[in-house]
Structure formats: structure tokens, C-alpha cells
Amino acid sequence: MTAGTSTLPLPPAPGAGSREVASALLWTTQPVAIAVAANSVPPLLQATVATSSALLLLWLWTRWHNVPVLAQDDSLGPGTLLGLLFSARLGLLYLAISEISAPLAMVLTFGALVALHAGRALVQRGRVGVSLAAIVLAAAAVLLGLLLANGWGAFWALAAGLLWSREALLARHPHLAHCGGEKIMFYQLIGAAVTLPVASVVAGDNWLLEPSRAGLVSLGVQILVGGLALPLLWFAPGAAQRPRPLAALALVAPLATLALQTWVVGWPGPLVGAACLLLTAAAWLTTRRG
């Protein structure tokens, strides 16, 4: 979950490359790990531990490769806002997954993203038929998710999707255009490392609790995957400048999270599976060339 954004929410593309698909599949371990740890570790405390650890690992990476992420330039203003948006989006995702199942949270979060992108394409009068079909499928997935969700979890997930869309658009800001993936991610993680601990304290989380063994393992997965494995995959030689395209995530995350949750926790039910299928079809339509 501790990750950078792409330059477009769902850029039109005929498909995702192997690196993007591998990153998206690896990313789906995060929501399931959050759900497993939620029984013994409060969600905002989880987010605090994961992002702070990821920030340390990223800083070590940039020092090793002499990447000047702390160099002063004109990116500080939009970068600070990017960090705040990322922090809010991540906190909402953690809260959502702690209240509803991880696949449902993915349906609602990515459903909001897909519907927004398809709506923009429709307003711009591009690929009208495909955009309408994508909006209908995404809306159906979201409505089904809302019917299955309880409490505030659905609201948190939808709000996270809306913030994610804004966050991805902000990453296109002219003052951030020259930033590499490491600096974009650094801005995001600094924002999270500053704000999420405060949010955790305000929420009354007990920082002295003793996590269960499953909670510790899940926290370890979040740190190693989100803070180490994914950045290594993104910033390896030949990787794109900006990490993790959301198009690949929207295509892969709902069904992959459903499969992983079924394996680790249990089958969430046929209606959740149907919502994941609807959203995957909507995401596929948004990534087709007109």
C-alpha cells in the first residue's frame, strides 16, 4: 500500500506490460495483509508502521544510488500536497479494509477510479460507447459493493478512490514533471510519516499493544512488499520513471485480491466475486484504444 502513483489515473493502453502486471499482483498482498492484521493492530497504527518503515527503506535506497530526493527545487509545493493526499487516501484505505472485506474495498475504491476516468473520457467525447459501457459496469460493481458493505467502510473506500484520482492527476503537475519515481514516492511517504502517527494518536490507538503472530507477519509483509519489493521492482534498471500505473492495478487488483483472500482467509461469497468481475470488465474497457 505504500506506493507511488502513475501520471494518469487510467491511461488508455491496449494492455499492461509484464512489469506492471507483476507489480499489481505483488501489490494485492497488501490489502489482504491489512485485513489479517486488523484483528490485533488498529488500522492507522498499521499504516504508521508500514509507511515509516517504507520511508526508511526508500531513503536507504536513494542514498545507495545517489538519488538527490532532498534537492531543493520548484516541486516542494505540489509535492507537499501530494504527500497529504497520499496520506489521506492511504489512511482511508486502511480504515475501509478494517471494516469491510479487502475485495469489497478494492471494488469500491477502484470502482470510483474507473467510473471517474470513463466519465472524463465521455465528457471529452472520446470513445463514447466504450465509456458509457465502462461507467455502467463500474456503477453496477459499486452499487453491489455498497449493498454488501456495512458501516463506514464503504464510505472510506469510495473516498479513497476519489482522493486517489486527484492524487494521480496532481502527479502530472508541471513542477513535478521532472521528478523521478523515487522523489514522487519520497514526497508521499514523508506526508504519511508526518500525518498518520498523529491520526493514529487522535483515534486513540494503543501503541503498547502486543500484536498476534498473524498480525506481526502481516505487518512484516506490508513493510517488505510495500517498502522494499515493490520499489525494487519499479526502480530496477529498465523500469518506468513513475511507479505503478493505476491501469494495471485496476485490471488486476479486484480479482487478484479476491483470489488471495479466498486462499488466506476464505471465500467472501458469490456476490463479491460478481462485483470483482464487473469491475474488471469496466477497467478493461477503459484501457482499450478507441
Confidence band of 16 (pLDDT split at 50, 70, 90): low
pLDDT at residue 245, rounded to an integer: 66
pTM of the model: 0.91
Name the 3-class secondary structure at 109.
helix
Residue type, 229: A
Digit-coded pLDDT (tens) for 32-75: 999 999 989 999 999 999 999 999 988 888 888 888 887 778 88
Digit-coded pLDDT (tens) for 245-281: 678 899 999 999 999 999 998 999 999 999 999 999 9
First vs last Cα of the chain: how many Å apart?
Answer: 31
Digit-coded pLDDT (tens) for 139-162: 999 999 999 998 899 999 999 999
* Cα–Cα distance for residue pair 14/128, rounded to 1 Å: 17
* Burial of 289: CB neighbours in 10 Å, binned 0-12, 13-18, 19+: exposed
Confidence band of 175 (pLDDT split at 50, 70, 90): confident
| Residue count of the chain | 290
Confidence band of 290 (pLDDT split at 50, 70, 90): very low
Confidence band of 14 (pLDDT split at 50, 70, 90): very low
